[in-house]
Amino acid sequence: MKKVAIQGIKGSFHHQVAHQYFGQEIELVECLTFTEMPQRLKTAQADVAIIAIENTIAGSLLPNYKLIDEHKLHIMGEVFLPIHHQLLVLPGQTIESLTEVHSHPMALQQCEVFFERYPHITLVESKDTAESARLIAENKITNIGAIASSLAGELYGLEVLASNIHTYKNNMTRFFVVQKDWYSNGIIPNKASLKITLSHQVGSLMSVLKLFAANQINLTKIQSLPLPDKPFQYAFFIDVEYNNYELYKNCLKEIENNQNPVKILGEYHKSIKL
């Protein structure tokens, strides 16, 4: 049975992604922080890990790019998950009786407009959406709600007081599936995540973008992060899609020949947005 590390506990969105990607027959390895995951992989406590990387509302999770890079993790796949936030409470509560609502900071941010109608409710940050729901259920806490998934409500016996309270209904999070060792399933990949360190010269980024275009490679994301040992210089984390694997590999060689080191974080098959 595959051991899958997730950020959070049963009922979290990472839990949903684990089942969506690997099916039901898995062993969950719960981590309250992303920083726990590399160690779980290195000590074989987990075979793979699910890591949120960006959200359509909140943007990129920059520390997670750094985590993947610094711990030399390998991306084996991606999952796009529509995020539906529910207001969960012990049965019998009313929204007027609530004094606080607890959840992960990103979930709170994604539901701010809903709570503008209820100024008597204080929003309180927690480490995990599902953990907030579990604590309410286990301790039978009244007058406090949690923002979490429908799955969390079902697992912990909570009632949905208000459904789909997120501001933007096309709210979606992209997750990476990562492991310690390089991954290949024998299928030719059509997407890659790269780290490119550009030479500190005028036009270096433009030259890379032109090479992608010339080799029919579609750049789907570009994200810069500072180089700690080189003030005001940056590495670029880039996602690309391609139909011709040979053209893609030749393009990477051309980029490196221009003194721009390339690190392949993962090659995988692009996911379909549900």
User: 175 and 50 in one domain?
Assistant: yes
Same domain, yes or no, for 54 and 115?
Answer: no
Query: Are residues 60 and 175 both part of a single domain?
Result: yes
Residue 54: strand, helix, or coil: strand
Task: Say whether both 14 and 68 belong to one domain.
Answer: yes
Q: Which tokens sit at 192?
A: 């890659």
Contacts of 74 (CB under 8 A, 6+ apart): 178, 179, 180, 181, 182, 183, 265, 266
Give yes or no for residue 257 having a pLDDT over 80. Answer: yes
Domain co-membership, 72 together with 175: yes
Same domain, 44 and 175: yes
Mean pLDDT (whole number) for 76-89: 96
Query: What local confidence, expressed as pLDDT, does residue 274 receive?
Result: 52
Is the pLDDT assigned to residue 244 strictly greater than 70? Answer: yes
Which among 179, 205, 222 is the end of a domain? 179
Phi then psi for residue 82, to 5 deg, are -65, 130
What is the predicted pLDDT for the residue at 88? 98
179-226 confidence digits (pLDDT tens)? 998 877 778 999 999 999 987 778 889 999 999 999 999 999 999 988
Q: Looking at the domain assignment, is residue 239 inside a domain?
A: yes
Q: Model confidence over 122-132: pLDDT tens digits?
A: 999 998 999 99
Q: Are residues 42 and 149 in the same domain?
A: no
Query: Helix 245-257 to helix 204-214 angle, to the nearest 10 degrees?
Result: 160
pLDDT in tens, 140-191: 999 999 999 999 999 999 999 999 999 998 899 999 999 998 877 778 999 9
Alpha-carbon distance 6 to 119, whole Å? 33
75 and 127 assigned to the same domain: no
Domain count across the chain: 3
* Confidence band for 86, pLDDT divided at 50, 70 and 90: very high
pLDDT at 148: 97
Assess if residue 40 is contained within a domain: yes
238-261 average pLDDT score: 95
Residue 273 lies in a domain: no
Residue 241: CATH number of its domain: 3.30.70.260
Q: CB-based contacts of 251: which residues, under 8 Å, 6+ apart?
A: 211, 212, 214, 215, 217
Question: Which residues span the domain enclosing 114?
Answer: 86-162
Q: What is the mean pLDDT of residues 242-268?
A: 95
Residue 48 is predicted with a pLDDT of: 97
Residue 183 burial (C-beta neighbours within 10 Å; 0-12, 13-18, 19+): middle
Q: Is the pLDDT of residue 252 over 90?
A: yes
Q: What pLDDT, on a 0 to 100 scale, did the predictor assign at position 182?
A: 85
Q: What is the pLDDT of residues 92-114, one digit of tens each?
A: 999 999 999 999 998 999 999 99
Phi/psi of residue 209, each to 5°? -65, -35
- Domain match, 118 and 242 both: no
- Asked if the structure places residue 248 within a domain, the reply is yes
Same domain, 175 and 72: yes
Q: Are residues 139 and 248 in the same domain?
A: no
**Model-level pTM?**
0.91
- At 273, the pLDDT band (50, 70, 90 cuts) reads low
Q: Single out the residue of 194, 189, 223 nearest to residue 76, CA to CA.
A: 189
Q: Is residue 187 a part of any domain in this protein?
A: no
> Which pLDDT band, with edges at 50, 70 and 90, does 227 fall under?
confident
- More reliable by pLDDT, 264 or 201: 264
Q: What percent of the chain has pLDDT over 70?
A: 99
Assign residue 125 the CATH number of its domain: 3.40.190.10
Among residues 135, 152, 179, the one where a domain terminates is 179
On whether residue 38 sits in a domain, the answer given is yes
Q: How far apart are CA 174 and CA 226, in angstroms?
A: 23
Is residue 185 assigned to a domain? no
Q: Give the active site residues.
A: 173, 175
How many CB atoms are closer than 10 A to CB 85?
24
Q: Work out the mean pLDDT of the chain and round it to a whole number.
A: 94
In a domain, 20, yes or no: yes
Q: Are residues 254 and 131 in the same domain?
A: no
Question: Which among 126, 144, 179 is the end of a domain?
Answer: 179
